[in-house]
Amino acid sequence: MLSAPRIRAAAAAALAALVVACAASFDGRNLKPDVATTADVVATMGEPALSLKQPGGDTLLYYPRYQTGPAMFVARMSGDGKLRSIEQRLSWQSVRAVHAGMYAEEVRALLGPPFEVTRWPRQQRDVWEYPYRHAVRERRVTYVMFSYDGVVRETFDMHDDARDPENDWGR
């Protein structure tokens, strides 16, 4: 019969193993380029929210982690189904690359599927929302505003007061 301290120690070890396993699957860091297959990526990170074929045969698999990140991991798969790389796309550099005149398909390929889409009928805009983290801790949000023909007309980037845990706004 196990004593109470041994049961607690076993439970703590099991919980620690579970936390490590979940963290590894969050961003795919345990997947090795040129070794991992598409099946390995899906088994580790889940079904992608979006899959885009690229010219030249590569496929981009998008994994939004808005609730826990916020992050957008993109696994680049070669034509033969091997992992080339995984990168985090929701970064200051990526959102700054979005500009007026881009098409919705270009924005989706760069940043991935948006967190939320809102229609503003009076302004005749569809607005895509991308929350992200900048400089380790600061929560920001970028709004990409499209005219109804799918062309970026404006972007707006700001501190995300509503999602920043260190902000006591509204409490």
User: pLDDT tens digit string along 154-168?
Assistant: 999 998 887 776 665
Measure the CA–CA gap between 111 and 91, rounded to whole angstroms: 9
The structure's pTM equals 0.78
Kindly list the domain boundaries of the chain, sorted by start residue.
4-88, 92-159
Topology of domain 4-88 in CATH is: Beta-lactamase Inhibitory Protein; Chain:B, domain 1 (3.30.1450)
Q: Mean of the per-residue pLDDT values for the chain?
A: 85
H or E element in which residue 16 lies: helix 4-27
Give the pLDDT confidence score for residue 66 in this predicted structure: 79
**Non-local CB neighbours of 164 within 8 Å, separated by 6+ positions:** 138, 139
Share of the chain above pLDDT 90, in %: 65
**How confident is the model over 78-92, as pLDDT tens digits?**
999 999 999 999 999
CATH no., domain 92-159 = 3.30.1450.10
- Does the pLDDT value for residue 17 go beyond 50? no
Residues 111-137: what's their mean pLDDT?
Answer: 92
